[in-house]
Structure 1
Amino acid sequence: MSGAQARPLRADAARNRARLLDVATEVFTTRGVGVPTEEIARAAGVGVGTLFRHFPTKEALLEAVLVRRLETIAEQVTRLAAEAEPAEAFFGCFRLVIDRSAGKTEFTQALAAAGVDAHEALRESSAVIRARLAELLAGAQRAGVVRPDLGLPELVALLVGTGATMDQLGTDAAARERIFEVVFDGLRPR
């Protein structure tokens, strides 16, 4: 690691980087990954040079946003698992993962098109989330609130499929809620 990479960011540089990630997350999620980096810099109140000092390419910015989103999900899932009862923790986690993953497919497709392996960048956060999901599933099954024949691979597949369904529904809150009701009903024991 070079000396420049090993040094922590100055406070103002760290604030700029965090602001860029916040703005990029909002803009890419609401308007899509096609928004030019110049607009991200302008919305963050920094120059384009500052953006490129932190993120040398648009793909680096997209990857950082995606990694940050997954790290945030992992932190929230861990907190929920520690603080809630089994049913609330499991179903709350399912909702959280779906709600916080909106647009993830567009990010990974844009990165793949640029030759970036998003799955490699997300490996650590994904492992944390999978471990928490396994714990939440086991706890919910022990409490009798989730059907006992559901395994982690099926749960992950349901999360992926439900996320894709929600992306199709867009912002229709009532339709999204109906999908959650149907999926949750299928997850409960008979």
Structure 2
Amino acid sequence: MDSPVPQPGRTARSDARRNREHLLEVAGEVLAEQGTQASLREIARRAGVGLGTLYRHFPNREALLDALLRQRFDELTALAETLADTHEPRTALVEWLRTFLAGSTTYRGLVTDMIATIDDESSALHASCAAMRAATSELLTRAQRSGEIRGDVDHLDVIALVSAVGWIVEQSPRLVDRSDHLYALIMDALNTSRREP
């Protein structure tokens, strides 16, 4: 019995898919070591592909970051929906923002890259970050309607404050152990009355 002859298009697509997945895996490793400003040439070198191959898959640094983070952002957006369905409004917001803070410090420089996309709709990261902002807005609105979170803040205020903690920790490793305390201070400031975050 003859075995099927591989279709040239299928082989090329399979190779391209494998290259893309391998590039993402290596990029995750390099960014974990060097931060979001790591050399794309270094990522391609470690992946064993040419720089042109990297650029065929990811036309710029933001596109690479977006692809690398999209799954994580999708998981965080789904978590926001789950928290909204299963937790009291304030608790859902607190847990969501704590998880958002942890995720925003995955790679050195990520907080800065995420904040930069707020007003830049042409950024490859904009759509993914917009979904995160929308999830924050929904949870914040619910917590405000419950009367437990101040009504004079919006989702961009909250994201900026929480991102500031991520940026501070990124700039001073000495403060890593203080991140929970800094986060608690922010949540305390957002409460309509003083209580433990």
Task: Please tell me the root mean square deviation across aligned C-alpha atoms, in Å.
Answer: 3.2
Structure 2 CA distance for partners of 1:93 and 1:69, relative to 1, 3 Å: farther
Q: Displacement, 1:179?
A: 1.3
Partners of 1:25 and 1:65 within 8 A in 2: no
**Contact residue 148 and residue 191 of structure 2 kept, 8 A:** yes
Instruction: Report sequence identity in percent.
Output: 33
CA change 1:107–1:55 in 2 (3 A) is: farther
Q: Indicate the residue corresponding to 2:78 in structure 1.
A: 79
Given candidates 11, 16, 21, the residue that maps to 1:18 is 21
What's the secondary structure of 2:20's corresponding residue?
helix
The question of whether the paired residues in 2 share the 8 Å contact of 1:63 and 1:118 is answered with: no
> Which residue matches 1:63?
62
Matches within 5 A, 1:29-48: 29-33=32-36, 35-37=38-40, 39-41=42-44, 43-44=46-47, 47-48=48-49
- Asked if the contact 1:37/1:48 (under 8 Å) is kept, the reply is no
1:135 Cα offset (Å): 0.5
Q: Aligned residue for 2:189?
A: 186
1:32/1:83 CA distance change after superposition, 3 Å: closer
Deviation at 1:105, TM superposition (A): 5.3
Counterpart amino acid of 1:104?
L
Q: 1:35 to 1:81 in 2, by over 3 A?
A: closer
Find the aligned partners of 1:71 and 1:147 in 2 and give their Cα distance: 31
Q: TM-score, normalised by structure 2?
A: 0.69
Gap regions ≥5 residues in structure 1: 1-6, 109-116
Tell me, yes or no, if structure 1 residue 164 matches structure 2 residue 192.
Answer: no
- The verdict on how the C-alpha distance between 1:37 and 1:132 changes in structure 2, with shifts beyond 3 A counting, is closer
Post-superposition offset of 1:138:
1.0
Bigger Cα Rg: 2
Structure 1 residues 21 and 161: alpha-carbon distance in aligned structure 2, compared to 1, 3 A threshold? same
| Stretches of structure 2 lacking an aligned partner (at least 5 in a row) | 1-9, 115-119
Partner-residue secondary structure (3-state), 1:120: coil
Task: Tell me the equivalent position of 1:4.
Answer: none
> Which residue is equivalent to 2:103?
100
Which amino acid is 1:187 matched to?
A: L
